[in-house]
Every structure is written in C-alpha cells, then in structure tokens.
C-alpha cells in the first residue's frame, strides 16, 4: 500500500494501533512538512536546495521497519555530505576574501597613506577597526601559505589570530594544519604557552613562576581576610538593625545595654583590622571620595564603627507635648553599614540612576520612557559650536539638553540674530581660522555646520581645494580641545566619490586622534521636516563611548506636507482658495538653497528643482512680502515669504532674524534645521549620559525662545489700574 494511503497511525512517528513490531521514529522536529515515500526520494523526484526551488520533504518509511530506517539514514547521510561540501566551499571562499583584503591594503597604500586606507576600510567598508591591522598582518605573514589555508578551509578567525603569533607558534600551527588538524583558536593559546616554556628552558631564562606563586598565595590570603572581615561586618550590621528596631518605650538599661557592649567589642575589632586589610589611607582616599560622591562612603563606615565601639549608638529625641526626652537608636548607623553591601536608603530606580551617574558610571537606557523630553543628567553637557549661523543647530542642541559655552560665527548679521534671540548665549563674532579657543578644552561636544559650499553642486564641489573649506580648522580644534564628542554637519556632497580622498583624510585624522567616528546621511522628512533636506553628519567620540551611540530612528508617522506646514501663514492675507492650495502642496519642499555669500539674489531653486517647487504650488523665483490677498485667483502660484521659508526650516515663528532681506534669506537657507540637530543631539546626549528620551514627544515640545522682553507689547497693555476702574 502506498504510504499516503496508509492509516495515519501506521506511519513512522508512532505505533499506537499501527503495524505490529513497527519501531517508533519521530522526525517531526527534524524534517519539513511535505511527505514523500522512500521510493520517490530514491528515484530523485525531490531535489536539494541548489537543484530546485522546492520545499524539502519529510522523510517517512515505506515497507519493512528495519530496511526503511537504514534507507532513511543513508538519505540523511547524503544530505549531510552535500551540506558539508557547501560549508567547505564557503570556508575556502572566506579564506580567499580574507587574503584579498590584505592585498587591497597593499594596492591602496600605493596611492594613499596607511592612515587613510585604515579609515577607508573601517568606516567605508565596515571592517572592524581592530581587524583591519589583522587582515594586513595576515597577508604579510601568512601569504606564502595561502593555498594551504584555502585548501583546508581554516576558519578566518583562527587565521587572524595565527597571523599575530610569533614565528615559532606560526610554524607549529602550520605543521598541524598540514597534518590534517582542524585548528581551534583556544589551541593557539596553548601552543603559545607551551612553546614559550620550551624557549625559556632552552634560552636559560629565569623561572619567574616561583615569585608569581608567592604573589598569588598572598593575594588569595588577602582576599580571604577581606571576605572574613566583611562576614564579621555583616553579622554586626544585622545586630545593629535588630537593635534599631527596639520599641522606643523599651528602656535602654539592662538587656539593651548588654547588647550594645557586645556590639562595641565586635566593632572595635573591625576598626583595628580595617587598616591592616585595606591600608591606612583607604577610607580617606581622595580618589575614592571622588568616585563615590553619594551619601555613603568608606570614611562614614569607619566613623560608624568607631561610634559603635564607643557605645555612641543612641541619640536624644525631645518632645514638647508631653514634654519628655527619649533615647532612640541612630538610624544613620544602619545605612552607613548597609552601604558596604550595596544598600541605599533611597531605593527608587531614579535615585539609583542618579547615584550611578554621580559616581561617574553611565547606566544605559535601552528604552525611552514615554513622554520624557529631556535627558536625566547630573549636569547639562556642554557644547562649543563653530560656524553657528542663525542658530538652527544651536536651537536643536539646546533642546536636546546641551549648554552652550560659546558660539563662533563670522557673519555679522547671523551673530546679531543669535544675540537678539538668546542674549544669554556667549556669541563669539570672529573668524574661526586661527582663533584661539584653548579656554574651552574639555568641552563635552564640539559641533558645527562647517561651510557646505565647497561640497555642494552650487559651489562646484571643489572640496578641500575651496578656500571656504573649514574642516582643517575643525580638526585643529578637535586636536586642541579634546572634546568627548564631535558632530560636524555638511551637505551630502561631502560623501560624493569626488570627495572620497578628502573625506578619508578627515576620518583618518580623527581616528589618529583616538576618536571613533562615522558618517551618516539623515533626511529631513524622517524627523517631521516638510523639506527634502539631506545632510551628511559626522559623529565621533573618545574611546569607550561609541558603543552607547545609535543614530536616531525615523518616525513612523509621516512629516507634514508643505501645505499642512504653511496653511495658517498662507491664509493670513484672506486668500479664499487656500484649502485648494494646501491640497496641491501635498508634497515635501526641495532643499532650500542660497546660503552662500556669493549668491546675490533670493531664489529658491536651481534649474533641476524649479519644477519640483512648481509641482507643489510654489513659485520659486524671489520671495513674497506677504500672504496672498482675498483677490488672488484660485490658480495663483504664490511665492514664499521669509517667515514661510523659516518655518520650512523649522525655526520658531518668534525667531527674529537680523539684517537685510537677502542676508536673512542666506541665514535661513544655510541653517541646519533645529529638529534634525535635536535628533542627533539627543543621540549624542544618550551616548554621554546613558539617558534616552522620547524623541517624537521631544520634537513636538515647543522650543523656548528666551529673548529680550517685548517692551513694545508691554507698553501697549492696559494698565492694571485702568482695568480696575472699568470694572
């Protein structure tokens, strides 16, 4: 009977009610669901994964139990053999590619410096920075045995480790591979140790193990003494806790005083042993004091033990009604001793986070608390901003939680805009080139939108050959100020092929200074901007920080369209057809351009983007002085006012720009939109402090504009006494 015609209970996988003597074999977990007979498999009706794009079958027996099982095992054996062949080919390919990376290094270093090639492989090719040097060493030290390693398919991880061993270890490992061994990484460590012992014996080196044994024994004894001391302290602390729980009405005479005396003896012993175990200056060490600024400390532990040793464990509590005085246990002693074992009086999670941050630790939030719009930090991280412009980036970084120590801007009108809107910001109106900013050494973040014209299409993309390129000045400041983090913003042209060499020089210089850095392109609509603004962002950190940084994730909800973003401004003049215009303006604006000082007119577009503006219902030629009036026809193609342009760039409506209309247009077009800077800044704050915010909620929160008082508006108000009279 064909298998598919048999009763289900008689199939392999169960013998309840099935054929007598059938062996139970459950292949449910081992094979996919399709059922075929052994005969069909033997006839080649089912192909492997490389032969045809079909579902792999479930193997079930047909016929005699023992014979069917043997056939199934044989079929599985053939499948495993094919799998082994595929894995072997894959491993050989991996070995070839590993050597090719080393070959590529040799090829590229004929054109670029080794530092630049390292930056290219790490940042552009996504090879782990540590492995770049290992691949290079692999090609140099093991290149002669390349064919052997390809043939045997040695794991690349083993090869990279092997390339770093000395000649003796490499030679022995190669002999093992030639003899057919499948070398494991842990075996290299054993080879290194044992070959080192043989070399030491042959070369007559002194045996350092004897002194090492003594040191290990001493360390073990010290740990044992410390553990015993802590165990005694734990016993004492529990007795102190029990004593502190006595009812206040209980007299301190008798039993209580006896218990205090026993505690005093135990405490005195601990006080005497403490300096022997930890050293005389351990409790008062200034380094420990800096690393543990919370309420507890070893100094307080020592003081608590001394008080207990002197039987000073009660304090007087005075009451007015009725007038009386009671002796109560000093509960601070409990917490001073419990601190040693990790306890704190305030056990709330936010308090624990605060203590960790005060101690210099960085507890990392992996999920943002809904609605949290500001990072939880001990202090606001600081930022020095260069090429600050009209304040777009500054607004975003301020909203992300940074405190500005300085904002450098060469343009007079842009500097005036910063000062007019934020008088408290320390604006430095000066040329960045050669500017001495040594006073800002140690700032948390160095940020800036270095001039983009050298890398833009409008600026002919001359890159490093453009006199406006300020990346060298930014690198000078990184070298001088040693900030914890760096954020440099530019147009995406900096990532173009034509600028590859200069980009690699920037990366190699930053990495040579010890920073981990990478470029990324962010798009405005991903973060709620009604503009197709793409910006290239370089973010870098000092060692030990980058693992906490992740690029901000695009929002799930779409950004508002140009029509939605500008409806109220476009309707301000009474245009009756504004809703129809909003429906037409249902897309995102092209990137606002025109920030260069060489541009002498107000025009939103170049030839390529003019049609995009017109398609969304905007005339990109020039600018309007106001919104369309009530007489504007339905087919009117409005121009944008400067305020509309500023809103598309995410500036608050209250932000007051200084200078002529042309200068204001330049400031707006040249800006890094605040919400984009806010998004990146929040990610940098998370990397510095470990605190993550709800970015979507944070970007919806209004940005405060703390400018000068609007005296004109105040003068226009009706005096309070006049209001009282009318009432």
The sign of the dihedral angle between the CA atoms of 43, 46, 48, 51 is positive
- Distance of alpha carbon 253 from alpha carbon 584, whole angstroms: 90
What CA–CA distance (Å, rounded) separates 524 from 535? 8
Give the number of other CB atoms < 10 A from CB of residue 657.
24
Peptide bond preceding 322 in cis form (omega within 30 of 0): yes
- In terms of Cβ atoms closer than 10 Å to its own Cβ (0-12, 13-18, 19+), residue 22 is middle
Active site residue 452: yes
- Specify whether the backbone of 534 is left (phi greater than 0), alpha (psi in -120 to 50) or beta: beta
* DSSP codes of every residue in 456-502: STTTTT-GGGSTT--HHHHHHHHHHH--SEEEEEEEGGGGSGGGHHH
Asked whether 328 and 315 are in contact (CB, 8 A), the reply is yes
Do 389 and 450 touch, CB atoms closer than 8 A? no
For residue 486, list its beta bridge partners.
Answer: 446, 540
Which residues does residue 384 pair with via DSSP β-bridges, in sequence order? 406, 446
Quick one: CA dihedral 462, 467, 472, 477, positive or negative?
negative
The distance of Cα 251 from the centroid of its chain, to the nearest Å, equals 59
Residue tagged active-site, from 452, 537, 602, 677: 452
Measure CA 434 to chain center: 32
Residues 350 and 376: their CA atoms lie apart, in Å, by: 9
Angle between helices 661-669 and 412-421 (to 10 degrees): 80
H or E stretch covering 697: helix 695-700
Q: Long-range contacts: 71-78, Cβ < 8 Å, 24+? A: 71/38, 71/42, 72/25, 72/38, 75/38, 75/41
Residue identified by tokens 């064909």 is: 2
Distance CA 78, CA 44 (A): 12
Q: Enumerate residue ranges in the chain where pLDDT < 50.
A: 1-62, 253, 286-293, 452-466, 707-711, 713-714, 720-727
First and final C-alpha spacing in the chain: 105
Residue 317, pLDDT score: 62
The gap from C-alpha 629 to its chain's centroid, in whole angstroms, comes to 50
Closest to 608 measured CA to CA, from 495, 532, 662: 532
Query: What pLDDT sits at residue 264?
Result: 93
Distance (Å, whole) CA 180 – CA 152: 8
Annotate 599-636 with b (16+ C-beta within 10 A) or e (fewer): beebbbbeeebbebbeebbbbbeebbeebbeeebeeee
Give me the torsion for CA of 590, 595, 599, 602, rounded to 10°. 60
Torsion angle, alpha carbons of 343, 346, 352, 353, to 10: -170
CA dihedral angle for residue 335, residue 341, residue 347, residue 349, rounded to 10 degrees: 150
pLDDT of residue 548: 92
Tokens of 628: 């369309």
DSSP secondary structure string for all residues of 60-127: ---S-HHHHHHHHHHHHHHHHHHHHHHHHHHHHHHHHHHHHHHHHHHHHTTTS-HHHHHHIIIIIS--
Spatial distance between the Cα atoms of 72 and 40, rounded to a whole number of angstroms: 12
Candidates 123, 102, 34, 5; CA nearest to 518 is: 123
pLDDT of residue 382: 97
What predicted TM-score, i.e. pTM, was given to this entire model? 0.74
Which residues share a beta bridge with 318? 325
Q: At what angle do helices 167-178 and 156-163 cross, to 10 degrees?
A: 150
Token pair of 317 as six digits: 């509590």
pLDDT of residue 217: 93
Please give the pLDDT value at position 702. 66
Distances 13 to 21, 61, 69, 70, 364 between C-alpha atoms, Å: 13, 10, 12, 16, 50
Give the single-character DSSP code of 596.
Answer: S
Cα angle, residue 178 at apex, residues 176 and 180 outer, rounded to 5°: 75
Nearest alpha-carbon partner for 386 in 467, 442, 445: 445
- Which tokens belong to 269? 């012993």
Q: Residues 6 or more apart from 257 whose CB is under 8 A from it? A: none
Angle at 592 between CA 588 and CA 596, to 5 degrees: 170
What residues pair up with 47 in beta bridges, in sequence order? none
Contact 441, 482 (CB under 8 A): yes
Contact 445, 684 (CB under 8 A): yes
Question: What is the CB neighbour count within 10 angstroms for residue 396?
Answer: 26
Question: 141 exposed, middle or buried (CB, 10 Å; 0-12, 13-18, 19+)?
Answer: middle
The helix, strand and coil proportions of the chain, stated in percent and rounded to the nearest 5, come to 50, 10, 40
**Pick from 531, 588, 585, 589: which is nearest to 563 by CA?**
585
């Amino acid at each position: 009977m064909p298998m598919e015609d048999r009763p289900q209970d008689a199939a392999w996988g169960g013998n309840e009610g099935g054929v007598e003597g059938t062996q139970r074999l459950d292949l449910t977990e081992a094979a996919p669901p399709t059922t075929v007979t052994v005969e069909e498999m033997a006839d080649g009706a089912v192909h492997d994964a490389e032969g045809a794009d079909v579902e792999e079958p479930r193997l079930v027996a047909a016929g005699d139990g023992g014979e069917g099982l043997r056939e199934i095992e044989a079929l599985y054996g053939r499948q495993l053999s094919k799998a082994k062949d595929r894995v072997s080919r894959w491993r050989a390919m991996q070995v070839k590619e590993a050597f090719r990376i080393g070959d590529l290094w040799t090829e590229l270093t004929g054109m670029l410096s080794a530092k630049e090639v390292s930056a290219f492989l790490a940042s552009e090719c996504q090879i782990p920075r540590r492995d770049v040097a290992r691949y290079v060493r692999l090609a140099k030290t093991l290149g002669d045995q390349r064919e052997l390693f390809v043939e045997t398919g040695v794991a690349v991880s083993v090869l990279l480790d092997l390339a770093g061993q000395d000649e003796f270890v490499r030679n022995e490992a190669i002999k093992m591979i030639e003899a057919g061994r499948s070398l494991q990484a842990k075996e290299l460590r054993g080879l290194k140790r044992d070959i080192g012992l043989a070399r030491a014996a042959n070369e007559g080196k002194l045996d350092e193990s004897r002194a090492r044994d003594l040191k290990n024994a001493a360390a073990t004894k010290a740990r044992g003494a410390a553990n015993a001391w802590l165990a005694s302290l734990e016993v004492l602390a529990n007795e102190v806790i029990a004593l502190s729980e006595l009812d206040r009405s209980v007299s301190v005479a008798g039993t209580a005083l006896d218990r205090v005396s026993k505690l005093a003896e135990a405490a005195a012993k601990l006080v005497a042993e403490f300096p022997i175990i930890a050293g005389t200056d351990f409790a008062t060490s200034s380094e420990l004091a800096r690393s543990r600024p919370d309420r507890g400390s070893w100094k307080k532990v020592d003081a608590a033990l001394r008080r207990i040793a002197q039987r000073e464990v009660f304090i007087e509590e005075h009451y007015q009604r009725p007038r009386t005085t009671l002796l109560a246990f000093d509960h601070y002693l409990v917490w001073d001793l419990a601190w040693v074992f990790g306890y704190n009086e305030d056990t709330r999670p936010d308090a624990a986070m605060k203590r960790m941050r005060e101690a210099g630790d960085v507890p990392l939030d992996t999920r943002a608390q809904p609605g949290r719009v500001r990072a939880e930090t001990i202090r606001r991280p600081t930022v020095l901003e260069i090429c600050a412009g009209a304040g777009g980036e500054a607004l975003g970084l301020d909203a992300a939680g940074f405190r500005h120590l300085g904002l450098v801007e060469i343009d007079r009108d842009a500097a005036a805009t910063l000062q007019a809107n934020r008088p408290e910001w320390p604006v430095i109106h000066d040329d960045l080139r050669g500017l001495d900013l040594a006073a800002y050494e140690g700032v948390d973040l160095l940020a800036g939108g270095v001039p983009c014209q050298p890398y833009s299409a409008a600026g002919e993309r001359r890159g490093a050959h453009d006199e406006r390129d300020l990346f060298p000045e930014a690198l000078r400041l990184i070298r001088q100020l040693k900030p914890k983090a760096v954020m440099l913003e530019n147009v995406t042209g900096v990532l173009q092929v034509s600028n590859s060499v200069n980009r690699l020089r920037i990366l190699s210089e930053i990495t040579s200074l010890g920073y981990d850095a990478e470029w990324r392109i962010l798009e405005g609509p991903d973060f709620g901007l009604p503009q197709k603004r793409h910006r290239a962002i370089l973010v870098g950190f000092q060692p030990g920080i980058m693992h906490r940084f992740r690029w901000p994730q695009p929002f799930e909800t779409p950004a508002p369209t140009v029509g939605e973003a500008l409806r109220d401004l476009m309707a301000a003049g009474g245009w009756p057809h504004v809703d129809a215009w909003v429906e037409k303006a249902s897309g995102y604006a092209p990137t606002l351009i025109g920030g260069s000082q060489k541009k002498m007119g107000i025009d939103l577009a170049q030839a390529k983007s003019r049609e995009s503006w017109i398609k969304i219902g905007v005339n990109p030629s020039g600018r309007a002085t106001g919104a369309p009036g009530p007489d504007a026809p339905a087919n009117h193609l409005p121009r944008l006012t400067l305020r509309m342009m500023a809103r598309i760039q995410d500036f608050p409506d209250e932000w007051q720009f200084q200078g002529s209309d042309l200068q204001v247009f330049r400031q707006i077009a040249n800006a890094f939109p605040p919400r984009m800077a806010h998004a990146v800044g929040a990610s940098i704050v998370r990397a510095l402090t470990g605190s993550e915010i709800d970015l979507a909620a944070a970007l919806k929160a209004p940005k405060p504009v703390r400018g000068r008082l609007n005296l004109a508006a105040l003068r226009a108000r009706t005096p309070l006494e006049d209001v009282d009279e009318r009432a």
